[in-house]
Structure 1
Amino acid sequence: MSDKNKNTKPNAPKFKFNMYWVYGAIFLLFIGFNFINDGALSVKKIGKNEFFKILDENDIEKVMVVNRTFAEVYIKEESKSKERYKKQVSGTFYRKGSPLFQYNFGDLQNFENQIKEAKKTKGLTLDLFNDNRTSIFDHIFSFLPFILLIAIWLFFMRRMSGSGGGGGGGGQIFNIGKSKAKLFDNDTKVKTSFLDVAGLEGAKEEVQEIVDFLKSPEKYTSLGGKIPKGALLVGPPGTGKTLLAKAVAGEAGVPFFSLSGSDFVEMFVGVGASRVRDLFKQAQQKSPSIIFIDEIDAIGRARGKNSMTGGNDERENTLNQLLTEMDGFGTDTNVIVLAATNRADVLDKALMRAGRFDRQIYVDLPDIKERKQIFEVHIKPLKLAKDVNVEFLAQQTPGFSGADIANMCNEAALIAARKNKKAIHHQDFLDAVDRIVGGLEKKNKVITPKEKKTIAFHEAGHATVSWMLEHAAPLVKVTIVPRGQSLGAAWYLPAERMIVQTEQMLDEMCATLGGRAAEKIVFDKISTGALSDLEKVTKQARAMVTVYGLNEEVGNITYYDSSGNDAFVKPYSEETAKKIDKEISKMIEAQYQRAIEILEVNKEKLTTLAELLLEKEVIFKDDLEKIFGQRPFEKEETNEEEKETKEEEIKEE
């Protein structure tokens, strides 16, 4: 390795020019110029004897009394050739016409009288002057409060205008109305592609068409088609809306402007609308291009609702400008707007219409197949053991979004590292699920033996009832180790159904009430530990009666309003409200009695299971099979699957 390479530091910070350095250099030069040009540098202070000696020799041209405190002594030109003055005259800082001496006279009136007396008695020709003088530093100090106020004001204006943002020009106050969008083009490419987006096949097809249009517009325009104005990505948080937009940026190969809805919001009136205009102006200059607005509900909320600001609502002005830019006069440009939100219900109807957002792409929570694909993307960088079963993990995580799965994979890696493992095992992933769903284990939580026994029978009750019901979710694991806010927990493997029938919902309610029923049978007492169970069951029963129309007494009626406009309106009468309350209570009590009947029949097995749970603290599906035997419903399902498989094989042959 050469010496040249040794001295090279790749991580050394690069030199960056700053305009403030120029201001500092000018200020220093100004001070230095005044300091050097000040004749005071060549002045020598003298005492009373020396002053009157010079005065008596009539070498003084004039005496300047400065600020009534000291006198500057100017020597005649013909006298400067004398030996006593030569040293000062030849000095570096001496300027022609500047004083050579400074004399502190004390009392001004006495000094003036002494000069007059000397002029009269000795015939001197000097002149006496008075001067009120201030230095540059005095001026600076007098204006210092104003300078500080201006500096503070500029600092806050710079901060409010977003220094370092997309405003340009260092984010100065004059650029506050500029767009804050980040531009991704050929110089700053986005590396995300559709290969990085697992699942979301339908959504990918929709946005892929937009990308194809931008790449080869003639394919569509030759048939008379027009470029879509915009696409709105709607769905729950964490499902991959922003990731999909990043993939569009990576695939399209056109300029991509990315910003959040809140970037339009500012404390100054008119800034939001100005930023919208500037954003679309930049996009039109670089067309064909894509604008992506994340969390568009920050500016796109319905106008006229809950407006407490009077006639001038800044958010509404911003939205009006956005509506005009997206589909108004003179908007015939190849600019596509992508937006994402998880609150589509609050958006303004004018924003949602065709011609502005031509397409609404719903990005739903992933199903089991999509979760498997998402797992395969996120486990690529992980060091896995051979026992990891991705298909089982996909089954074990119903309701997980893509962000949840990414978090789970990371959590599994942290758990494995905490245990000093060389690779991540299947159990680490299961522990990560428990950690995310149930919370952190609290083994040191103080629980009395009586409370522990109650918790054990409660959880055993859930497990027993769910094992005996056809439509209840099969059990995976039961624990009485406290997690988060719960004192015990049971994990199930729910079937992912597109539609749910009445019997299935009733079985789930019965299994949920199994814990409270077990406490009643064994201890003939009930505790407060079933709060979350009761909350879940009450919500299910209310939904069955008022939303899904699954109650015969109330009938085929729903009181659900998908638009969300019934928040403060009760859509039924007092008589119907009594009937609804009665039917909800009747439904819950019926399932509670059903759970008690199941547990009374299987009381011995319930006790055996609870004792095993007290002993081991955690039990699995295999332990339940040893006590209860295999579920009869699983045998029927297995036989049906075998029949279907054989029929398919026969058809293929």
Structure 2
Amino acid sequence: MNNNKGFNWFFPILIAAVLLFFFTNMNSDSSSNSLDEEGFFQLLQQGKIQDVMIYKDTEKADVFLTKAAKTELANKQVAKDKSPFSTFDFAPKPDYTLSFGDLQLFLEKFDKIKQENPAIATKRDYGIGKNPMTELLFTAVFWIAIMALFYFVIFRKMMGGGGGGPGGQIFSIGKSRAKLFDEKEKVQVTFKDVAGLEGAKEEVQEVVDFLKNSEKYTKLGGKIPKGVLLVGPPGTGKTLLAKAVAGEAKVPFFSLSGSDFVEMFVGVGASRVRDLFAQAKAKSPAIIFIDEIDAIGRARGKGNFTGGNDERENTLNQLLTEMDGFGTDTNVIVMAATNRADILDKALMRAGRFDRSIYVDLPELHERKEIFNVHLAKIKLDENIDREFLAKQTPGFSGADIANVCNEAALIAARNGHESVNKQDFLDAVDRIIGGLEKKNKAIKPSEKRRVAYHEAGHATISWLVEHAAPLLKVTIVPRGRSLGAAWYLPEERQLTTTEQMYDELCATLGGRAAEQVIFGNISTGALSDLERVTKQAQAMVTIYGLNEKIGNISYYDSSGQSEYNIGKPYSEQTAKIIDEEISKIIATQYQRALQILSANKDKLDALANKLLEKEVIFREDLEEIFGQRAWDPELTEHPVSNTHTPENESPETILGPESNTQI
């Protein structure tokens, strides 16, 4: 594609015209008023001359008036328009230029007038006259340098020849900012580097195979898919999967972010979309990858308060046209990634544009083990590291979280002076990432520490005694992050949750506050995160999952994500009142249940709290000594966890929920 349009003479002519205008103004302003000898001596006798500079070799002199005389002259004359460059003069300009005849006669008359008028304080100096040719040469060199600087620094950048790429300059602002990866700049990531995404890899591998062996599919009447959308929570490997496609496809790969289309100028986004697809078509077959496509793909007509000409909507319209419109029958595949698929425009998601939507979910146990294998290959490990054990310690972790655990473990090992990264380093890393930095030197009053111990013991007691609560592995009252204490659980990795399971989880979450009520007869602000979690969970039971008998099998959840734009609620005021009552009823019932369980096992609660005050950190084996083994937990009984420091939790987002005791 030839974009050479020849040299543009418009800007050089414009520059020359502007410089000619400045030259004219400067020359007209730089020439001072002429003055003859008679007029000079009149001003001298009146005491209006402050200084006179005499140039012997040119028979000329520069005359400088006093301040009062200058003011008087300004009032009498109409001031000329001054050059914009007059501000940058390095020396004051003379008010008059004097041409005299014989220098000796001029000096005699000058001295005579000063003798007759002793009050005259005019100074007389001598200098060397200016050579007109030298001034002209200096001026020419100066302006040539200015023009050269203007051309090379400004003009070349404006035309797109400067640094920063063609898309970053003012005259190429409508050009695409996509980064091109081809045979000159290859991506080293392959599918071997992507672990734990078997289903997603299978889908995108077929796309790569289509680009490599298109005849295999076209001979059967198949068509190349127009778009592939990767959807999933943050950190699950969507961008990594796209990098692997770039490394495996062996075709031109254009990579950019959705925000690269956004600009303050009208029409720029649509122009960049056109330029991007023009480049991709020229190098067809090719792949375009747009990361965070929700920046431009948000549903149109929702929450638009900017008027009819919405730049983001114009960009989306152009993208829709390029993906499936007239003249789009080319081998260009668009890949995109987002974690907010619910807000994307329906026209973007229809068949013919994004034909495939691949959900990249959080990794399961065996997938986490594969991800650990990838990241641990770069770390110097202890011989006793069990990857299966590490995978079990990180339920709910994404690929990015696992990479962070490995890196944090290496940093902890280096900080402690270890020769290799051992098991304890990984456990400390999980603690650090989920719970925050441990604060052993934080001053806590003994009464507050005792309350924290009973609070955490209450969580531990109920989670051990009720059937469906997550089994507890470790309890600590050492401050960590914003919490004064924390309890660590190993949640069951399940896809469905029953009503009874949610009730048991609510009861265990309220166990901390219930323990304070049973032991101290009052409650504190430490259960803030507990109350926040139970409120959200009870509200979800009533309004989302349809697990409440009074409300019935009704869900007010909007999976399309458009409910955020609705001002009103999807139910009446009477229903809202019933919902509030049912939420309060669920929480109150489980709180009373927690009080009953703790009151019936108060001796065991005291024993657990005292042991916690003594050791500050207790493990599952300590609970077994007090409560005995859980009868309904055979799997955990067959595979007991050692009494080493073994923090586990369901996910980084929920560790400080029911098990934390946050001081407010």
TM superposition score category, shorter chain reference: 0.7 to 0.9
Q: State whether structure 2 residue 464 is matched by structure 1 residue 472.
A: no
- Counterpart in the other structure of 2:657: none
Aligned partners of 1:165 and 1:180 also within 8 Å: no
Q: CA-to-partner distance for each residue in 1:203-228, whole Å, 9 max, x for gaps? A: 11110110010110011001100000
Alignment counterpart, residue 355 of structure 1, candidates 349, 352, 357:
352
Report the Cα offset of residue 445 of structure 1.
Answer: 1.2
1:166 touches 1:179 (CA, 8 Å); kept in 2? no
Q: 2:502 matched to which residue of 1?
A: 505
CA apart distance, 1:359: 0.8
Aligned residue identity for 1:598: I
Given the alignment of the two structures, is residue 384 of structure 1 paired with residue 375 of structure 2, yes or no? Answer: no
- Contact kept? 2:158, 2:171, Cα under 8 Å: no
**Structure 2 partner of 1:432:** 429
**Alpha carbons of 1:67 and 1:607: their partners in 2 closer, same or farther (altered >3 Å)?**
farther
SS of 1:110's equivalent?
Answer: coil
Please give the alpha-carbon distance, in whole angstroms, between the structure 1 residues aligned to 2:604 and 2:159: 69
Call closer, same or farther: CA 1:630–1:367 in 2, change over 3 Å. Answer: same
Matched residue type, 1:68: K
TM-score (norm 2): 0.74
1:586 has 2:577 as partner: no
Q: Summarize the Cα distance change of 1:131–1:67 in structure 2 as closer, same or farther, 3 Å threshold.
A: farther
Q: Which digits, 9 at most, give the CA deviation of each residue in 1:376-419, with x for residues without a partner?
A: 11111111113322222222222211111101110011111111
Provide the secondary structure at the position in 2 that maps to 1:483: coil
Amino acid in structure 2 at the alignment position of 1:135: L
Kindly state the Cα deviation for residue 107 of structure 1 after the two structures are TM-superposed: 7.4
Q: Give 1:499 shift.
A: 0.4
Measure, in 1, the Cα distance between the counterparts of 2:393 and 2:638.
24
CA distance in 1, matches of 2:158, 2:602: 70
The C-alpha deviation readout for 1:501-540, integer Å capped at 9, x for no partner, is 0111111111111111111111111111011001111111
Whether the 8 Å contact between 2:629 and 2:637 is mirrored in structure 1 is no
Q: How does 1:86-125 map to 2 (within 5 A)?
A: 108-111=99-102
What is residue 414 of structure 1 aligned with on the other side?
A: 411
Secondary structure, aligned partner of 2:358: strand
**Equivalent in the alignment of 2:396:** 399
- Structure 1 residue aligned with 2:154: 154
| Cα distance in 2 between the residues matched to 1:626 and 1:214 | 63
One-letter amino acid matched to 2:507? C
Comparing 242-251 with 338-347, greater Cα deviation is found at 338-347
The answer (yes or no) to whether the contact 2:258–2:295 under 8 Å persists in 1 is: yes
Change (3 A) 1:419 1:148: same
2:492 alignment partner, one of 492, 495, 508: 495
State the distance in 1 between where 2:360 and 2:164 align: 30
Q: 1:245, CA displacement in angstroms?
A: 0.2
1:524 to 514, 521, 526: 521
Structure 1, unaligned runs of 5 or more:
1-63, 71-105, 116-129, 641-653
TM-superposed deviation, 1:66:
5.8
Q: Is the 8 A contact 1:375 1:390 kept in 2?
A: yes
**Matching residue's letter, 2:221:** G
Letter in structure 2 aligned against 1:137 = F
Contact 1:473/1:492 (8 A) holds in 2: yes
Contact 2:598 2:605 in 1 (8 A): yes
Secondary structure of 2:475's match?
Answer: strand
Aligned counterparts of 2:400 and 2:190: Cα–Cα separation in 1: 17
Shift of 1:138: 4.2
The letter of the residue matching 1:622 is: E
Q: Does 1:327 align with 2:324?
A: yes
After TM superposition, list the pairs within 5 Å mapping 1:31-110 onto structure 2: 68-69=60-61, 108-110=99-101
C-alpha distance 67-243 of structure 1, shift in aligned 2 (>3 A): farther
Matching of residue 573 in structure 1 with residue 572 in structure 2: yes
Give CA deviations for 1:14-34 in whole Å, capped at 9, x if unaligned.
xxxxxxxxxxxxxxxxxxxxx
Deviation at 1:303, TM superposition (A): 2.1
Distance (whole Å) between structure 2 residues aligned to residue 589 and residue 67 of structure 1 = 109
Contact 1:65–1:131, Cα closer than 8 Å, also in 2: no
CA contact (8 A) 2:195 2:370 kept: yes
Cα distance in 2 for partners of 1:257, 1:349 equals 24
Q: Which amino acid aligns with 2:315?
A: T
- Tell me, in whole angstroms, the C-alpha distance in 2 between the residues paired with 1:537 and 1:152: 66
CA distance 1:160–1:419, shift in 2 (3 Å): farther
**SS of aligned partner of 2:233:** coil
Take 1:263 and 1:108, find their aligned partners in 2: how far apart are those partners?
A: 67
Q: Percent of counterpart pairs with the same letter?
A: 70
The answer on whether the counterparts of 1:166 and 1:181 sit within 8 Å (CA) in structure 2 is no
Distance 2:369 2:175 in 1: 44
| Distance change >3 Å, CA 451–CA 257, structure 1 → 2 | same
Q: SS of 2:288's equivalent?
A: strand
Structure 1 CA distance for aligned equivalents of residues 447 and 549 of structure 2? 43
- How many residue pairs are counted as aligned between the two chains? 525
- The question of whether the paired residues in 2 share the 8 Å contact of 1:161 and 1:176 is answered with no
Distance in 1, Cα, partners of 2:131 & 2:209: 83
Q: Work out whether residues 177 and 272 of structure 1, in 8 Å CA contact, stay in contact via their aligned partners in 2.
A: yes
The unaligned stretches of length 5 or more in structure 2 are 1-55, 63-96, 107-129, 640-664
State the Cα deviation string for residues 245-278 of structure 1 (Å, max 9, x = none). Answer: 0000111111111111111222333222222122
Report the Cα distance in structure 1 between the residues aligned to 2:150 and 2:338, rounded to whole angstroms.
41
Task: Encode CA deviations 1:601-624: one digit per residue, 9 max, x unaligned.
Answer: 221111111111111111111111
Letter in 2 for 1:154: I
1:282-305 deviations in whole A, cap 9, x for unaligned?
Answer: 111111111101111112222233
Match 1:188 to one of 185, 189, 194: 185
Cα deviation, 1:297-318, whole Å, max 9, x if unaligned, reads 1122222333333333222222
Aligned-pair Cα RMSD in Å: 3.0
